[in-house]
Amino acid sequence: MNLLPNLKTKPAQIDSMYEKLEERFGAVHCPLTYSQPHELCIAVILSAQCTDQRVNLVTPALFARFKTPAEFANADRIELEELIHSTGFYHNKARSIQGFAQSLVETHGGIVPNNMKDLVAMPGIGRKTANVVMQELYGLVDGIVVDTHVLRLSKLLKLTKHSDAVKVERDLIQAIPRKYWMNWSLYMIFLGRSCCTARKRNCNECILSNLCPSSTLKNGA
């Protein structure tokens, strides 16, 4: 059953989009820096409402101070908040980090789970974080990462009408072939940072301008 009857983007266009994105951005990897699995989870928690660049400036000192999940779980909350202050929402993030670390130690023996069910049951881990972790650490694809760039561009590409990340992911899972899921989100993120920003859509430089239903060039705007 077609759940997206009013959307314009067709399967053949998705294939063409992916080919152009792959040609432009090539092999892509998570831009967050980490050396241990639990560090990736913490970095993704910190990335909420914050740029990856800012997170990567904060995490070297953070990971040098607290080296293991147990150390994060037992960290002084005020010190932890001071170290992550510049990422914003530091009270909530510190609470999420410590809740995640405690769950990781007590429930999972310090091993980051490799499945969606166990990951999203942990404090601070939603579907976005779980998708990033599964793809980056284990090469497993169980969904599509939806951040602010992916959400915004998905609406411009007429892949969804929703603003809720969970509903957007459901639409994308139907619209995007599974073989593209691993890279699609990162391609959208890189495109959103380079020319289709929230402040200004530069359709003249966008590689998808001839395929995007919202292109100002295509619509003569």
Torsion of CA 43, 30, 160, 163, to 10 degrees: 20
Catalytic residue among 52, 147, 158, 171: 147
Distances (CA, A) of 140 to 93, 106, 135, 176: 26, 24, 5, 16
Mark whether 147 is an active-site residue: yes
- What is the H or E stretch that residue 119 is in? helix 116-120
Convert 97-115 to b/e letters by CB count within 10 Å (16 or more is b): bbbbbbbbbeeeeeebbee
Catalytic residue among 20, 93, 128, 158: 128
Which amino acid is residue 177, in one-letter code? P
Mark whether 164 is an active-site residue: no
As annotated, the active-site residues are 128, 147
